[in-house]
Amino acid sequence: MTGWMGKIVKIDLGRRTQGAVVVSDAVRRQYIGGRGLGVKLYSDLCPGATDPLADDNALIFMTGPLTGTMMTSGRYQVVSRSPLTGTICDSSSGGHFGAALKGAGIDGLIIEGRAATPVYLSVHDGEVEVRDASAYWGLDTQLTQKGIQAETSSKTSVACIGPAGENRIIFAAIMNDKDRAAGRGGMGAIMGSKNLKAIAAGGSLPVAIGDPAGYKDLTARIDRIIDKNPVTGKSLQVLGTSVLVNIINAHGMFPTENFRRGVFNDAEGTSGEKIAETLLERQSACYKCPIGCGRTTRTRDKQGEGPEYETVWAFGAHLGISDLTAITEANYACNELGLDTITMGSTLGCAMELCETGAWKENLRWGDAGKLVDWVTDTAYRRGIGAELALGSKRLAAKYGRPELAMQVKGMEIPAYDPRGAQGMALSYATSNRGGCHMKAYLIAPEILGHPVFLDRFSTAGKAELVALFQDVSAVVDSAVLCRFLQFAVGISTFAEMLRVVTGLDFNDEELMTIGRRIYTMERLFNNRAGFGRGDDTLPPRFFNEEFQTGSSRHRLVRLDEMLDDYYKVRGWDKNGVPLQRTLAELGL
């Protein structure tokens, strides 16, 4: 077997037992690894309505056969049931940790149970050691990583939680390799609930390559493709993801003040261009990545990574804040404390509108940049107003009687693209298996960026087919595991080639499309069992009822009804969004 290490370790932190999990060749072929395999294993282990923060919930860290081989292959996936949404959730992070797990001799970890006292796992040479982490409990993610590295080796890659995860904040993140984040869905809270502070991995066990000559040729070719592509070869390097600020704002869909407006007057001051001018020290790259979209930045007193586009929005336009330094320092705080910046920022925006309408008698105000870091910190420690913010926008808004003011789908907050400006994104948000997420089907690429082809963003025609296509391809990339940004430059047939040369198995693009569909459908089945159906494939009322008055997305509403039935048909699901028997049979489910 090449590509995969062939070892997945299951560990029960309560019983202090561990053992190897055997995955058949057939299952490996059908789910590949990463998200796909993680979802499959999780569904088998916890098919029912397991409480995400209960001892018997499983938390899965999974890599794929390509992890630790070629460009962008340092990523890993975390899979479990989300405490934020209750759906199945896969959370992806960059950096080196995925490659470190392979170097340490394993494909993945399945963690069950709860340790009696704080522990961390040390993975090396195919073995998983449970170590005492009481010295680290309470420390932020940066100190934790440094501390564990000092104890093990400077080359160790550490994935850990900060105080937010320890306090089981339902949108706590897992941080690794300084500031890379498995941000969405609250996977950090699950780690916290298990008293698991960190996982450290290191080693130099090589990943076996099936066809070394073919691998060399293919990766040389892909290098050229990445270099020649203007997005991967230029834009992401020079300006990072925040290049999108001015673009999305110019399209009148930069959500401002809890999605009440689509144009932010001070967008310029929080753009990628502005970051490059004022805060940027240098770009940074993940494992073997030629793109290098990361931003190493510094404010007057602090330094760190980011902010990325989503964060620039979540702490910026979404809250009516244009102070880039404040936004950046709030971003650093989230990285240190281990919190998802999107949910954090979005919840603050919801809170501000709740206050403005008088539904909540607190004093959070639009534009109040000075308090950002305090709000973030209080949330991580669940103290003062933070105890309320820690609920996330859905529960917070429901608590104060205005559920419609939470900009969320299935409990996960919608990110920095207003769906009234792109009908395909509206469908994407509504049908994402982990809730309001832009990454599962990034329709912004064709609808706004014109990549690979330009589509009319206000048309609903053909969007259903497209959303399904993107969802399936993305599922494959998440299972290989590679970086989503490669999808700007290469397509599914090339991903098939990558898998062929590494695994030696004759994957082709049609099979990969089926695998993607299978993974997506399996996630859907889990969600169906967890009680999600057609009624949850929707958006907050604002998007159906309120029009922008200005900007180039003005006077537009989401027309989900024109796309949803089509989508179910394309997917082979019934009118309630439940997969039909023949669909399941086709996919071997």
Partner 1 sequence: MRRRVRTDAVEIAGDGLTIMALLRLAEEKTGQSFLDELLDKDKGLLTGTIILVNGENIRLGQGLETRVEAGDSVALFSPAGGG
Partner 2 sequence: MIDLDRETLVKMIDHTELSAHSGEKKIANLCSEARSFGFYAVCINGAYTRFAREQLSGSGVQVCTVAGFPLGAGTSSAKSYEAGDAVRNGADEIDMVINVGALRDKKLDLVRDDVRAVVEASRPALVKVILETGYLTDEEIVTGCHLSVEAGAKFVKTSTGFGAFGAFPAHVRLMRQTVGPEIGVKASGGIRNFKDAWRLIQAGASRLGVSASVGIVEGLSLYKFAPAAWLEEEVPCHICPSRFANLDKQPKAVYAYYKKKCLACPHLEKYNKFYE
Interaction partner, residue 240 (partner 1, partner 2, none; CB < 5-8 Å by kind): partner 1
Smallest gap from Cβ 211 to partner 2, in A, equals 16
User: How many other β-carbons are positioned within 10 Å of the β-carbon of residue 213?
Assistant: 9
Asked if 480 is part of the footprint of partner 2 (rule: CB under 8 A), the reply reads: no
Q: Does 490 bind partner 2 (CB under 8 A)?
A: yes
- The interface with partner 1 within residues 548-587 (CB under 8 A) comprises 551-553
Binding partner at 244 among partner 2, partner 1, none, C-beta below 5 to 8 Å by kind: partner 1
The separation between the first and the last C-alpha atoms of the chain, rounded to the nearest angstrom, is 25
Using CB distances below 5 to 8 A depending on partner kind, what does residue 491 bind out of partner 1, partner 2, none?
Answer: partner 2
Q: Out of 29, 228, 234, 555, which residue is the one contacting partner 2 (CB under 8 A)? A: 228
491 binds partner 2 (CB under 8 A): yes
Q: What is the DSSP string of 468-517?
A: HHHHHHHHHHHHHT--GGGGGT--HHHHHHHHHHHH-S---HHHHHHHHH
Ranges within 253-282 binding partner 1 (CB under 8 A): 268, 273
Q: Which stretch binds partner 2 (CB under 8 A): 45-53, 291-299, 301-309, 483-491?
A: 483-491
State the nearest-atom distance from the C-beta of 556 to partner 1, in Å. 12
**Of residues 45, 143, 449, 557, which one binds partner 1 by CB under 8 A?**
449
Phi, psi of 255 (to 5 degrees): -60, 120
Residue of 153, 461, 541, 546 that binds partner 2 (CB under 8 A): 461
Residue from 266, 362, 456, 574 touching partner 1 (CB under 8 A): that is 456
Q: SS3 of 283, please?
A: strand
429 near partner 1 (CB under 8 A): no
Residues 198/161, Cβ–Cβ less than 8 Å = yes
Task: For residue 80, give the 3-state DSSP assignment.
Answer: strand
44 class by beta-carbon count within 10 Å (0-12 exposed, 13-18 middle, 19+ buried): exposed
Q: Is the dihedral of CA 479, 480, 484, 489 positive or negative?
A: negative
Q: Which two tokens stand for residue 336?
A: 């240190």
Residue 26 sits in the site that holds partner 2 (CB under 8 A)? no
List the one residue from 454, 508, 533, 561 that touches partner 1 (CB under 8 A). 454
Measured distance CA(188)–CA(163) in Å, rounded: 10
3-state secondary structure 408-470: EECCEECCCCCHHHCHHHHHHHHHCCCCCCCCCCCCHHHHHHCCCCCCCCCCCCCHHHHHHHH
Cβ neighbours, 10 Å, residue 55: 15
Query: Site for partner 2 (CB under 8 A): which residue of 493, 545, 550, 576?
Result: 493
Taking the complex as a whole, the smallest distance from the CB of residue 569 to partner 1 amounts, in Å, to 28
Stretch 213-252 residues interacting with partner 1 (CB under 8 A): 230-232, 234-236, 238-244, 246-247, 250-252
Residue closer to partner 2 (CB basis): 459 or 545:
459
CA distance 474 to 452: 15
How far is residue 555's CA from residue 262's CA, in Å, rounded to a whole number? Answer: 11
Kindly identify the residues of this chain, within the stretch 466-495, that bind partner 1 according to CB under 8 A.
484-485, 488
| Residue whose tokens read 């040729």 | 217
Select the residue interacting with partner 2 from 22, 26, 213, 220 (CB under 8 A): 220
Could you list the residues that contact partner 2 (CB under 8 A)? 217, 220-221, 224-225, 228-229, 452-453, 455, 461-462, 465-466, 469, 473, 489-494, 509, 513
User: Which residues form the interface with partner 1 (CB under 8 A)?
Assistant: 230-232, 234-236, 238-244, 246-247, 250-252, 268, 273, 293, 308-310, 438-439, 442, 445, 448-454, 456, 484-485, 488, 551-553
